[in-house]
Amino acid sequence: MDEEKKVTYDRFEISKIIGQPVDPRKPYPDLVNMICERDTAEPEEYVYYFDVYKDTDTVYTITSTGSVTSSAVTPDTPAAFTFIDVASPEYYVKIVDLAKSKERVLARKKATINRALNGKEVEYILTLIEVGTPSANRFRLNSSSGATTFNVDHLTQMCDVVKDYGDSYVLLVSSTIEKDIILWNWNDNKNIDIFRTFEKLGVKIQRIPNQWVVIDSSTTNLIGSTRAYLVATSTNSSVGGRCLLFVRKRLNDIKLLGGVISESGEKPERLVFTSPNPMNVGGTRYLGVGLTGYEELVAAVTNSYGLANFTRA
């Protein structure tokens, strides 16, 4: 009985049972996986960026508030990136539910925390692309040309301004832009092989849901319904690699939680903090524990010349 009570109520034990809120089959969100240079840093490691294109370059990074800041980088003065703290909302589990089916309840919360942290990461990347795109690489629907939708000409113009910085591309589209592409043949009255067109241009399409999603307990629209972003995604070192950098820091679980959560002793990239029982939820006190996911990361645009965006309206 005492051992069962210890496992059920001990905060570290709950955090250890949950482990890393990361899906091992898909450790990164699809967006991060497709367009970012990914890496991990050890707990005490620093991350720097060195300019490779011009004598003076500009790097855009996400701050702890979710805004974007820029800094100049020269070959003699690399940029030292600052890791930011990212936390999910606090989710609670009632003690009575833990007593009935502890592992099942905690597994559901682990999946929820994973989605919440992934949503923050996607939001940061899209914010960086929006702010970091140079003015010369921004395009709008020109009604004087007679065009009323996103078409092949627009895509070709976007590819043209980033082609020196990549040999493959990802087009991030909203629902409206995706519909425009699907209806290319119908709207333009031309026999366009859509898939072959994208294949020849070296472009992959990734739809970004533009419905409202919950991030930090508030509804957020990740992308406007009439927006599209093109990102050069070359992994060829001769063209500088990918335009965005994404780094998670491995966390010192002994220092933060008071113990090791992995049997192998490997440092985790994410942790779950467990709040004590009882807890207050919306003004009501519950016999339960709170669960909050946590990670430290760097997200940055290291080559803004490989970005382009389009606004339909």
The pLDDT tens digits of the residues spanning 226-269 come to: 899 999 987 555 556 789 999 999 999 988 888 888 877 789 99
Environment class of 137 (CB within 10 Å of its CB; exposed 0-12, middle 13-18, buried 19+): buried
Report how far apart the first and last C-alpha atoms of the chain are (Å, whole number): 65
CB 104, CB 18: distance < 8 Å: no
pLDDT of res. 7: 41
Q: Rounded to 10 degrees, what is the CA torsion of 44, 47, 48, 52? A: 150
Residue 22's CB is within 10 A of a number of other CB atoms, namely 20
What is the rounded distance in angstroms from the CA atom of residue 222 to the CA atom of residue 233?
A: 21
Task: Report, in this order, helix, strand and coil percent for the chain, each rounded to 5.
Answer: 35, 30, 35
pLDDT of res. 55: 58
Task: Return the half-sphere exposure (C-beta side, CA atoms, 13 A cut-off) of residue 156.
Answer: 5
Q: Which CATH architecture has domain 2-311?
A: Alpha-Beta Complex (3.90)
Give residue for tokens 């008071």: 258
| pTM for this predicted structure | 0.87
> For the chain, which ranges sit under pLDDT 70?
1-9, 50-56, 75-76, 143-144, 188-191, 210-219, 235-240, 281
What is the rounded distance in angstroms from the CA atom of residue 277 to the CA atom of residue 288?
A: 5
Closest to 248 in 3D by CA, of 98, 55, 79, 27: 27
Q: Rounded to 10 degrees, what is the CA torsion of 55, 138, 131, 75? A: -10
pLDDT of res. 5: 45
pLDDT of res. 285: 81
